[in-house]
Amino acid sequence: MDTWGRAHARPHALLPHRKRGKDIAVKQAGSASRRIARTVVILHFCSATLLAGTTGKIAGRISDGQTHDALPGTTIMIEGTHLGAAADVDGYYFINNVPPGTYTLVASLIGYQKATIKNVDVRIDLTTTLDVKLNPTTVDVAEVVITAERPLVQKDLTSSSVTVSPKAS
């Protein structure tokens, strides 16, 4: 009987020698397949650890500080790197493949004050969520003067032309 009170049909000790040998061979084959399966599982977990990410992600939403409307097209850059993104139609942005560390982000859009966010912490395999609100501002532009002039020579004219206008008295 086993520990749960069940009786075995034939315990291994009572088996004839040649049958016991076959059972031993089957047991050895079974233990070999278990060893292979165990090795595959261990290699799988080791490779998953080796292939784990080495970068993080920054994501969030950019909106107007007064109306809370989305600000599509706003650029958000990580200072000192070439990494950045532009907000989509709904004001959402994300920056992938950011090495771990602490950064300063700059968000800007024409007609709004530039926002600088310091001490943004990025960790491996995690998303740092950062929502930004920009305040509207006026845009000062210098005066632009455009003067129209008639060219001395018309390049598309193939013959001479004369313009007659009435003389005012």
Average pLDDT over residues 122-130: 93
CA distances from 144 to 28, 76, 111, 141, 147 (A): 91, 30, 19, 8, 10
- Give yes or no for a contact between 111 and 72, defined as CB atoms under 8 angstroms apart: no
pLDDT reported for residue 163: 73
- Greatest alpha-carbon pair distance for the chain in Å reads 140
65-122 pLDDT, tens digit per residue, is 999 999 999 999 999 999 999 999 999 999 999 999 999 999 999 999 999 999 999 9
Q: What residues have CB less than 8 Å from 99, skipping those under 6 apart?
A: 54, 55, 56, 122
Q: Is the pLDDT of residue 164 over 90?
A: no
Q: Could you tell me which residue, 149 or 77, shows the higher pLDDT?
A: 77
How many other C-beta atoms are found inside a 10 Å radius of the C-beta of residue 60? 21
pLDDT, the chain, mean: 81
Classified as helix, coil or strand, 150 is: coil
103 half-sphere exposure, CB direction, 13 A CA radius: 23
Classified as helix, coil or strand, 124 is: coil
47-63 pLDDT, tens digit per residue, is 555 556 789 999 999 99
Average pLDDT over residues 126-138: 93
Q: Is the pLDDT of residue 142 over 80?
A: yes
Among the ranges given (32-36, 148-152, 153-157, 164-168), the one the predictor scored with the smallest mean pLDDT: 153-157
Spatial separation of the C-alpha atoms in residues 16 and 75, rounded to whole Å: 82
Spatial separation of the C-alpha atoms in residues 79 and 92, rounded to whole Å: 19
Q: Provide the b/e sequence for 94-119 (b: ≥16 CB within 10 Å).
A: ebeebeeeebebebebeebeebebee
Task: Using pLDDT thresholds of 50, 70 and 90, give the confidence band for residue 36.
Answer: confident
- In the chain, % helix, strand, coil (3-state, to 5) comes to 20, 30, 50
Q: Is the pLDDT of residue 148 over 90?
A: no
Q: Could you tell me which residue, 107 or 45, shows the higher pLDDT?
A: 107
